[in-house]
């Protein structure tokens, strides 16, 4: 007799799960800091970002549901949990929504730029 799984998650890949999420994702490539419960910061490469989470490259073993913090440029530190892991990638679901476009804004621009103007010297 054939047996069929009644758990639909057993039948879906991580790409299938990603397509079922709500909210649009912004494909990009930027570095972020990931902090786990042990307090160690690790640099990860973020591949896509949405208001509710992100997908990053991360090759270390980590368990689904693990609480993490991630610092995204232009956004700051965000609390979240590991939503999924697959083939050197992780998905992080944020505890609060963010503005993903803030990560694309220039870090130092305009009048508040920390870059000093060159000093004019008398000849």
* Domain-embedded: residue 115: no
Q: Which residue has the higher pLDDT, 106 or 38?
A: 38
Tell me the pTM: 0.68
Six-digit token string for 58: 């991360």
How many domains does the chain divide into?
A: 1
Q: How many CB atoms lie within 10 A of CB 82?
A: 19
Enumerate residues 6+ apart whose C-beta is below 8 A from 1.
Answer: none
pLDDT band at 104 (very low <50, low <70, confident <90, very high): confident
Q: Which domain holds residue 38?
A: 8-100
- Which pLDDT score is estimated for 25? 59
CATH number, domain of 17, equals 2.40.10.220
* Domain-embedded: residue 120: no
Q: Give pLDDT tens digits for 35-47.
A: 998 888 999 999 9
45 with 30: CB under 8 angstroms?
Answer: yes
């Amino acid at each position: 007799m054939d047996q069929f799984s009644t758990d639909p998650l057993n039948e879906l890949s991580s790409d299938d799960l990603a397509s079922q999420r709500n909210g649009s994702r912004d494909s990009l490539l930027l570095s972020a800091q990931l902090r786990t419960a042990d307090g160690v910061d690790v640099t990860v490469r973020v591949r896509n970002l949405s208001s509710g989470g992100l997908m990053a490259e991360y090759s270390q073993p980590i368990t689904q549901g693990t609480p993490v913090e991630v610092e995204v440029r232009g956004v700051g530190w965000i609390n979240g949990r590991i939503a999924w892991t697959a083939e050197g990638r992780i998905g992080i679901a944020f505890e609060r929504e963010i503005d993903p476009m803030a990560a694309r804004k220039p870090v130092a621009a305009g009048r508040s730029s920390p870059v000093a103007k060159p000093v004019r010297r008398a000849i």
